[in-house]
Each structure stands twice: as C-alpha cells, then as structure tokens.
Amino acid sequence: MSEVRRFPLRLHTAALEDAENRWTLRRWFTVGATVVGVLSLVAVGLGTWAVVRIGEARDLLFDQVSPVVTAAQTVNAALVDQETGLRGFTLSPEPVFLEPYTTGVQAERDAAAELRAVDGLPAQQEYLNALDRTEQLAQRWRAEFAEPAIAAARAGQPGPDQAAGRVLFDQVRDAGAGLSAEVDESRRIARGQLDGAIAFVAIVGIAITVMAALFVLLASLGLRNVILRPLRRLAASTREVVDGDVGTEVRGSGPREIVALGADVEAMRAHIQREVDQLHDANARLDEQTRDLERSNRDLEQFAYVASHDLQEPLRKVSSFCQLLQRRYGGQLDDRADQYIAFAVDGAQRMQTLINDLLAFSRVGRTTSGFEPVDLGAVARTAAGQLAAALEDTEGEIVVPEDLPTVSGDPGLLQALLFNLFGNGLKFHRADVAPVVRLSATRVDDEWELAVSDNGIGIEPEFTDKIFVIFQRLHGRDVYGGTGIGLALAKKIVEFHGGRIWVDHGTIDEPGTTFRLTLPTVQPAASTPLVKEPV
C-alpha cells in the first residue's frame, strides 16, 4: 500500500480593496485558513479512504485471489502430470517414469487444500463446488483407470481400456477447466473492485487538483518553485522509467518529503535496473553456452568423421601387408609366428569394421539429399539379402510380409536400420534354436509402428537404456562379435526420421526381443547436416 504524504502549504491572503467589504485582513486570513483547513481535511480524508480502498482491493487481488488462481493452475498442471506419468509408465514400466504421477497426486492434494484454506473471496462457493467436482472425477479416474493401469504395467499384463481412460480423464480435464473458469471469475470480481478503487482515486485526485488549481491563483511564484517544479521533475523522471527507460536516474528536489519520495522511486528503479541487468547477463550466458554446445557438437561430428576417414588408408596398408605375410609365409614360419600373423589380420579386420561403423554413425543426417517415398518391403528384402551368409551359418529365417507400407525417408538409412535390427536378431540367438526374425507394421494415429521381433536370448529390462548407447556391450566380444555401434546407429536413424525406438521384452513362454520403432506418415523436413562432408 502506498504511503500518503502530506506536504505543508503556506498560504498568503491578499488585502481586499473593496472598501465596502467590512471584513478585515485578519478575518479574510481566518476565513481563508478555515476554508483551507476544511478542504484539506476533506481532501486528506478522501485520499486516505481512497488509498485504504486500493490497499484492501490490492490485498484481496494479489494476496488472496492470486494464490487461489495459482493453486487452481497447480491442480490442473498436477492432473496433466499424473496423466503424462501414467502414460510413460505404461509404455516403459520403470519407477522413474511413475514419478510425475506420484508427485502430481501430492501436488494436486496440496493445491486443493490451499484452495479450501482461503476464506472470504468473491464467488468462493462456486469455485469450491468446482474443486469438489474436479477432485471427485480425478479420484474416480485414478481408482477406475490409473491405479489398475499401473498395477497391470508392473505385472507386465494388458491394462484397462485406453479409450475409457481417455473419456474419464477428459471429464477430469473439463472439470479442471470449470475450476479455472470459476477462479477466473473470482479474480475478475477482485480486479473490478481494484479498478473501481483506482477510478475513485482518480476522481479524488481530479477533485484535489481542481481545488489546488483554485489556490494556486493565490499562491506566490515561490510556492510554485518550491513545490510544483520539483514535483514535475520527479513525475517526468518517473514517467520515463514507467515508459521503459529504466536507466534514467530519478532524483527528488525541494521539500524533504519530495526528496524522500524521489529516493524511494530511485530505489525501486535501481532494483528494477539490477533485475534487468541480471536477466540480460543470464540470457547472454545462456546464448554463449548454446553457441559453445553447438560448436562442440560440430567439432565432435567433424572429429568422428575425420578421425575415422584418415584412419582408413594406414589401416588398409596394415591389413594388406598382414594378409600378404599370411599368404606368402604361412606355414614357412613356426606355429607361433603364424598365430601372431593371424592375430594381426583379425585385429586389422575388426578395426576396419569398427571404422566403417563409426563412419556410418557419423554420416547419419549429414549426407542425405532429402526424403523420398520408400517401399519398406523392398528395403527390408534387400537388407535380408545382405545377411545371406549369417542366415546360412545360423540356419535362420527373416520373415518379411508382403503388405509393408511406403513411407517417406532416406532409403539407404532405412536399409541400414533394418540390416542392423535383422542382424541383431540373428546374432543373439539361442544355441539350440534356429533364429527367426519377423518384421511387421501397424498404423497408429499419424505414424507407422514397425516391430522387429526375434526368438533369441532376450534383453534384461535393466539394460534397456544401455543398449542404445554407442560402444555399450552387454556381452563379451568372445561370446558375441560386433562393435557396439549397431543399435546406437539404429536409434540415430530413427530419430533422424522423426520417430522413436524402444524395446519390448519377451516372456518365459515366448523368449526373445521385440524392437519397436515409429516412422511418421507425413514427410518430415530433412535435418540440415551439422558438418559439411569433407572431400
């Protein structure tokens, strides 16, 4: 609440020249002083009352109604967090994905308690009724859908009907919107009271200004110089600050009260200036960090490509000469020398494979010329054909259906994606079972969901996130070969096409792994390569 400061005024009355007026100068001064005193009391009373009304209206709006509005928004946000957490947990039943749901429930209850704790607000009963309805519907949604869905996800079983859950949550969302509308109505009423108080202050200010104008006619030039000019200067400086020029220094002059007021305004301006400077500094640091991160990413991409590209030539020489040694001197040296040469040839070949995989990983999104219609069936059959040797060695099978869709993407990248997923299914097979890899596609909303399933050894749930990290291996190289790049490359290709990839785990009765990924049906914009491909 603004403090009301009264500035003492010294009034001088002029002598009356009308001889017929029998009032003496003292009487004129007494009458004038009495009128000034009465008008001053009236003005002070009206001003004080107006300021009190503003203070009460401000307290109602900002100290009582605004927290209620925030609490109502918190209730709605908490409900959305619950639905988001539930959806994430049902997709991947990890405890971390359930945290938004549990914290959302507690946040909803806390905000509801805060809403009920406030008393004496406009339209309070209406928004309390809306809150009760929202809470009842939210509890019903949790009891009938959310909690059963969580239990089913934990048990690895199908959850309740999603459509019914959406209907229940739509009712909760509508009730939350009704709560927000009732709270907004309370805020509108409080804002109207504040606007009315401000309008009354304006009327009082106009009245006082009119009265002051009448007395200014009798005031001396000195009074104007002492009071009015300092006030004008202070008002002009304050107006510049209000208009956005917070760098303008505000200084009061004249009476002590005006100087104190100017000091208060200057303190407020300096505080705002500090806040603005801190905000600018924070934004500048954020921009710099963003540029550093982009530059770091470009450098990493460039390093990955150049390092692997420049390693090709010396590695070819090492591999070629090792193979020449093996062909020319194989059997002529002792067994240990032949073993050493074999080790060198094998190491060079594995290094060549690693470099090629690293090059493929670094080129995703850098060398594409744009998306085009891609027949997934043709791409899948080509990828399966590239694995003919692995199929023969494992006596496995890759099942590609005839009715696969046509999507928009990069055919080479999609072929590499399916090649890695098919090869993964053939590689990690059980010793006593011939591997079978199946590809299927299902339309889900505006996406195609592909599933690549196998009957292999499967993946433990705790390693789900680890398998998509580059160079991360769950088995030793002596057990299962490979570079640890294949699934990381698959994830990068899927994300480049605007999709997602995740893992469904097998069961005791049906072991194996299912990789699911999505590809949008609408053509996404091709990403701009971060690093120009070196010549």
What residue has token string 């259906």?
A: 401
Q: Pairing mode, if any, of strands 501-505 and 447-454?
A: unpaired
Query: Length of the chain in residues, anyone?
Result: 535
Q: How far apart are CA 62 and CA 65, in angstroms?
A: 6
Q: Which helix (H) or strand (E) holds 116?
A: helix 95-117
Q: How far apart are CA 419 and CA 411, in angstroms?
A: 12
337 assigned to some structural domain: no
Q: How far apart are CA 20 and CA 495, in angstroms?
A: 101
Look at residues 520, 518, 514 and name the one whose alpha carbon lies nearest to residue 438. 514
Q: How far apart are CA 82 and CA 111, in angstroms?
A: 14
49 assigned to some structural domain: yes
- pTM for the full model? 0.41
Domain limits for position 513: 369-520
Q: How far apart are CA 377 and CA 434, in angstroms?
A: 23
- Domain count for the chain, please give it: 2
75 assigned to some structural domain: yes
CATH of the domain at 473: 3.30.565.10
Q: Are 159 and 152 in contact (CB under 8 A)?
A: yes
Q: How far apart are CA 384 and CA 439, in angstroms?
A: 11
161 assigned to some structural domain: yes
b/e burial code for range 186-222 (CB count within 10 A of at least 16 → b)? bbebbeebbeebeebbeebeeebeebeeebeeebeee
Instruction: Give the per-residue pLDDT at 449.
Output: 92
Instruction: Give the per-residue pLDDT at 9.
Output: 34
106 assigned to some structural domain: yes
197, 219, 241 — which closes off a domain? 219
Look at residues 266, 261, 257 and name the one whose alpha carbon lies nearest to residue 226. 257
Q: How far apart are CA 534 and CA 308, in angstroms?
A: 12
356 assigned to some structural domain: no
Per-residue pLDDT of the chain (535 residues; tens, 9 = 90+): 444 333 333 323 333 343 344 444 344 446 557 867 777 777 777 778 767 767 766 766 666 677 777 877 887 787 888 788 778 888 888 888 788 888 888 887 887 777 777 776 776 777 778 778 888 888 888 888 878 878 877 877 887 878 877 888 888 888 778 777 777 777 787 687 777 778 877 787 787 788 778 766 665 676 676 677 777 776 777 777 777 676 777 666 666 666 666 677 777 777 777 887 888 888 888 888 888 877 876 776 676 666 666 666 676 777 777 777 777 776 676 777 766 676 676 666 666 665 665 666 665 666 666 788 888 999 999 988 988 888 888 888 999 998 888 888 888 888 888 988 888 888 877 878 888 999 999 998 888 999 998 888 777 777 677 777 766 665 545 555 556 677 888 888 888 888 888 888 766 567 788 889 998 875 555 444 444 444 3
Instruction: Give the per-residue pLDDT at 477.
Output: 53
- Helix (H, G, I), strand (E, B), or coil: what is residue 367? coil
Q: How far apart are CA 482 and CA 485, in angstroms?
A: 8
Beta-strand runs (E) in 361-487: 372-375, 397-399, 406-409, 436-444, 447-454
Q: How far apart are CA 72 and CA 121, in angstroms?
A: 14
What residue has token string 């990789």?
A: 515
Burial class (CB in 10 A: 0-12, 13-18, 19+), 111: buried
- Helix (H, G, I), strand (E, B), or coil: what is residue 440? strand
171 assigned to some structural domain: yes
Q: Are 530 and 476 in contact (CB under 8 A)?
A: no
274 assigned to some structural domain: no
Look at residues 352, 329, 354 and name the one whose alpha carbon lies nearest to residue 342. 329
CATH of the domain at 194: 1.20.120.1730
219, 242, 264 — which closes off a domain? 219
157, 186, 219 — which closes off a domain? 219
For residue 504, how many other CB atoms are within 10 A of its CB? Answer: 14
Amino acid residing at 137:
L
3-state per-residue secondary structure call for 141-164:
HHHHHHHHHHHHHHHCCCCCCHHH
φ, ψ for residue 277, nearest 5 deg:
-65, -45
Q: How far apart are CA 46 and CA 40, in angstroms?
A: 10
